């Protein structure tokens, strides 16, 4: 029985380099190009969507007994999709990943529909998996400040510039609400130092926003730049690794993992938790929800509103632990 080749998507390669010769390879290349060039999807999303589509095509190859083409996609029934979802469930896929998988496949079939090649109505009759919405887990203000302070790691056998670098990155996550990928994408010439108190960030979906940079964060960046032994090119990355190349996010993740033990933090204390802490602490101090939405770069206010539930939960916890009749 013929099977779809397994290299439609390689997470280490360019997802647009779709060279596999299948009945739908041309359509897949065109779709990925559309997502990259017109929708401005990130490389991570493109890789995930290409990988999900490959898995779906592999399933259809077995399901139909041949390499699927546009006519096969046109004949898909809701039962076929449910069978695919059941198989992925059995393989250990969680609801959130399964939902993303369906989103990618739907995007591909809608692309073919716009071209008049298929009428894939089956997707409208399949219920998407429900996701239990978990609340973000912020870190306390004192603990967040400790994570962003180079002095918290003074006892480590590491170069002073490395400690200052890590503190500067974490300072941007907590002090400006950046994602780790956003912080590490900053160029040297854009570094907010001295009197520069704002930074333009390009976030998800190539959406641009301007965030204020407070004095403490600027000072952390200046400390790092004063100690950094590498000559940083203006157009190059602001944050570099031990050999002068772009800093890997994994280095910052490992830094926080090491600090969790020293500071007595839970496993939920991650670099991204500092972004949650930024939003939660602003809200607790009376920050406007719309303003926080803009600072975080959320497209929808409903995404930001989850922090109101976090703040209410923290208030209830404090009430139950402190009120004599709680």
User: Which residues form the catalytic set?
Assistant: 179, 204, 272, 275, 298, 307
Beta bridge partners of 201: 209
Beta bridge partners of 202: 208
Report the half-sphere exposure of 208 (CA within 13 A, side-chain side).
Answer: 4
**207-246 per-residue burial string, b: 16 or more CB within 10 A, e: under 16:** eebebebeeebbebbbbbbeebeeebeeeebbbbeeeeee
Q: How far apart are CA 251 and CA 257, in angstroms?
A: 10
What would you report as the CA-atom Rg of the chain, rounded to the nearest whole angstrom?
Answer: 23
CB atoms within 10 A of CB 59: 19
At 77, is the secondary structure helix, strand, or coil?
coil
Per the structure block, which two tokens stand in for 220?
């952390």
Q: How far apart are CA 43 and CA 251, in angstroms?
A: 20
At 175, is the secondary structure helix, strand, or coil?
helix
Report the half-sphere exposure of 135 (CA within 13 A, side-chain side).
Answer: 16
Task: Tell me how far apart the 2 most distant CA atoms of the chain are, in Å.
Answer: 71
Q: Are 265 and 130 in contact (CB under 8 A)?
A: no
Where does residue 264 fall: left (phi above 0), alpha (psi -120 to 50 degrees), or beta otherwise? left
At 201, is the secondary structure helix, strand, or coil?
strand
Residue 198's H or E segment, with its range, is strand 198-202
CB atoms within 10 A of CB 153: 19
Q: Are 262 and 152 in contact (CB under 8 A)?
A: yes
């Amino acid at each position: 029985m013929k099977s779809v080749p397994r290299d439609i998507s390689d997470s280490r390669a360019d997802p647009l380099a779709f060279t596999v010769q299948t009945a739908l390879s041309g359509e897949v290349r065109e779709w990925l190009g559309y997502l990259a060039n017109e929708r401005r999807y990130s490389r991570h999303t493109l890789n995930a969507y290409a990988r999900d589509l490959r898995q779906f095509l592999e399933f259809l190859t077995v399901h139909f007994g041949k390499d699927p083409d546009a006519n096969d996609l046109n004949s898909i029934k809701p039962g076929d999709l449910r069978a695919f979802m059941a198989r992925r469930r059995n393989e250990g896929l969680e609801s959130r990943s399964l939902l993303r998988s369906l989103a990618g496949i739907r995007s591909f079939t809608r692309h073919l529909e716009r071209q008049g090649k298929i009428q894939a109505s089956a997707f409208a009759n399949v219920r998407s998996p429900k996701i239990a919405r978990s609340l973000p887990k912020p870190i306390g203000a004192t603990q967040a400040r400790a994570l962003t302070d180079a002095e918290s790691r003074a006892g480590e056998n590491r170069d002073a510039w490395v400690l200052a670098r890590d503190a500067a990155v974490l300072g941007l996550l907590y002090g400006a609400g950046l994602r780790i990928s956003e912080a590490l994408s900053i160029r040297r010439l854009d570094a907010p130092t001295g009197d520069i108190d704002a930074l333009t960030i390009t976030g998800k979906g190539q959406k641009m926003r301007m965030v204020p940079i407070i004095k403490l964060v600027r000072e952390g960046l200046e400390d790092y730049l004063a100690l950094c032994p590498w000559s940083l090119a203006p157009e190059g990355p602001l944050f570099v690794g031990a050999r002068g190349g772009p800093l890997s996010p994994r280095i910052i993740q490992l830094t926080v993992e090491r600090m969790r033990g020293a500071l007595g933090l839970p496993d939920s204390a991650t670099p991204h938790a500092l972004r949650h802490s930024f939003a939660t602490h602003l809200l607790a101090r009376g920050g406007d929800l719309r303003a926080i939405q803009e600072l975080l770069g959320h497209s929808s206010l409903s995404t930001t509103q989850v922090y109101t539930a976090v703040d209410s939960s923290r208030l209830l916890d404090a009430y139950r632990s402190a009120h004599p009749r709680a």
